[in-house]
Amino acid sequence: MLPVFYDFTNGHGILFGNGESWKEMRRFALANLRDFGMGKKVIEDKILEEIHYLIEVFENHKGKAFDTTQPLSYAVSNIISNIVYGSRFEYSDPKFKATVKRASVNLRIAGSVSIQLYNMFPWLGPWLKSRKLLLKNIENNKKEMRELVRGLKETLNPQMCRGFVDSFLVRKQTLEESGNKNSHYHDKNLISSVGNLFSAGTDTTGNTLRWALMLMAKYPLIQDRVQEEISSIIGSRQPLAEDRMNLPYTDAVIHETQRLASILPIAIPHTTSRDVTFQGYFIKKGTLVFPLLTSVLQDGSEWESPHTFNPAHFLDEEGRFAKRDAFMPFSAGRRVCLGESLARMELFLFFTSLLQRFHFSPPPGVTEDDLDLTPAVGFTLNPSPHQLCAVSRV
């Protein structure tokens, strides 16, 4: 299936690319993410390093209520930054802050009613202010990316690739030197792929973590159980990826957060690239297909209490972690999320480290019941604006 891409993406890169270009970019990005340690120790160390910066920000609030959105976005954006550029940014860096902000505003606009209408009636384009802002933000973020890529080009050492961009530039150079001037390794695909990795990997992971912390504040008994498990199995040392198998309750809570939050309810719309017959239904080439992930993640015939936060969905009778086939927040098939193993590692390490260190509660004067689980509408379903208190446990 081809992804449906809106005119503001230009159809390049991994996320919204298609055909041979997408295939090559996806293969290359996956190989690189693996080379740079996706799901392995290298990236685990980068995540652990980032957790220290994040904890410092949370501690600076000294238990007073604050919005977790920004620090979580900066932390997860820095993980992508390490993979893509080979370095992280300071949370106070004004260019970094502006880039993260523009990306998050764009995801909100991309899911807005006016852009949905525009996708159906493109002639509305010139009259839509939100589309203008979207395009302006994309252009400004591309400008930032081009500047960073230029810096990496100037200091490129083919023997020592720092990240995805270096590998891409080396491949481009090698192909050009061998006389291949028409490869998929051109600047447009580089910038689109870098942008795709940031937009696909930041808001998704950051907002899942926001949901998780909010759910802990809303359900303090569940939070207590997570913290008891972390205390008894890990104690005060840094949680590691290998601890997951010994923390079935914590793992179940993370899975249940993803199931209930269902942050990409319609995944990414695709169109069929040829006529297909699927489960007896004939689907014509070019038909728009929405893989409705929520219909599976909250299917009444699959889940005991589909609309309730119930970590027991992922536990067997002995309290061991139980996999469920209907758990597919990363979608499935050829276009399955490219960053799944990275995201799973990030969610586990950030969540356990934060829960080990802090107790999360609603701000004074706000009850647990007041914490509203109605999502804010956007390209991803995020928690509605809220604040939490992170009270140090050490």
Choice from 204, 227, 250, 352 touching ligand HEM (CB under 6 A): 204
* Sign, Cα dihedral of 373, 47, 106, 120: negative
Choice from 2, 15, 149, 315 touching ligand HEM (CB under 6 A): 15
Choice from 37, 163, 195, 201 touching ligand HEM (CB under 6 A): 201
Cα–Cα distance measured from residue 17 to residue 9, given in angstroms and rounded to the nearest whole number: 8
Q: Do the Cβ atoms of 252 and 312 come closer than 8 Å?
A: yes
Within 13 Å, how many C-alpha atoms sit on residue 101's CB side?
11
Q: Give the CA dihedral 218, 219, 220, 225, nearest 10 degrees.
A: -150
Contact region with ligand HEM (CB under 6 A), list: 52-60, 62-70, 201-209, 221-229: 201-209
Distance of closest approach, residue 64 Cβ to ligand HEM, in angstroms: 28
In whole angstroms, how far apart are CA 59 and each of 62, 66, 308, 359, 389? Answer: 5, 11, 31, 11, 10
If the CB atoms of residues 55 and 264 are measured against ligand HEM, the closer one turns out to be 264
Distance of closest approach, residue 209 Cβ to ligand HEM, in angstroms: 8
The interface with ligand HEM within residues 25-84 (CB under 6 A) comprises 26
Choice from 252, 342, 355, 388 touching ligand HEM (CB under 6 A): 342
Residue 191 makes contact with ligand HEM by CB under 6 A: no
Cα–Cα distance measured from residue 234 to residue 325, given in angstroms and rounded to the nearest whole number: 29
If the CB atoms of residues 145 and 343 are measured against ligand HEM, the closer one turns out to be 343
If the CB atoms of residues 112 and 341 are measured against ligand HEM, the closer one turns out to be 341
Contact region with ligand HEM (CB under 6 A), list: 135-143, 224-232, 334-342, 370-378: 334-342
Distance of closest approach, residue 193 Cβ to ligand HEM, in angstroms: 8
Closest to 8 (Cα-Cα) out of 131, 104, 96: 131
Choice from 167, 208, 257, 294 touching ligand HEM (CB under 6 A): 208
Residue 291 makes contact with ligand HEM by CB under 6 A: yes
Closest to 77 (Cα-Cα) out of 106, 46, 55: 46
Cα–Cα distance measured from residue 278 to residue 355, given in angstroms and rounded to the nearest whole number: 44
Please count the residues of the chain.
394
Distance of closest approach, residue 28 Cβ to ligand HEM, in angstroms: 11
If the CB atoms of residues 311 and 339 are measured against ligand HEM, the closer one turns out to be 339
Q: CA 228 from chain center: how many Å?
A: 28
Cβ-closest residue to ligand HEM?
339
Residue 330 makes contact with ligand HEM by CB under 6 A: yes
Residue 212 makes contact with ligand HEM by CB under 6 A: no
Cα–Cα distance measured from residue 347 to residue 345, given in angstroms and rounded to the nearest whole number: 6
Cα–Cα distance measured from residue 64 to residue 363, given in angstroms and rounded to the nearest whole number: 8
Distance of closest approach, residue 38 Cβ to ligand HEM, in angstroms: 7
389 annotated as ligand-binding: no
Write out the two tokens for 390.
Answer: 């992170």
In whole angstroms, how far apart are CA 202 and each of 209, 229, 282, 300? Answer: 11, 28, 37, 30
Within 13 Å, how many C-alpha atoms sit on residue 264's CB side?
19
Closest to 380 (Cα-Cα) out of 143, 168, 253, 206: 206
- DSSP 8-class letter at 238: P
Binding-site string for ligand HEM from residue 232 to residue 271, where x marks contact by CB under 6 A and - marks none: -------------------------------xx--xx---
Binding residues with ligand HEM: total (CB under 6 A) = 26
Distance in Å from the first CA to the final CA of the chain: 51
Choice from 205, 310, 352, 382 touching ligand HEM (CB under 6 A): 205
Residue 343 makes contact with ligand HEM by CB under 6 A: yes
- Residues belonging to the binding site are 337
Binding-site ranges for ligand HEM (CB under 6 A): 3, 14-15, 26, 196-197, 200-201, 204-205, 208, 263-264, 267-268, 291, 329-331, 335-339, 342-343
- Residues belonging to the binding site for heme are 337
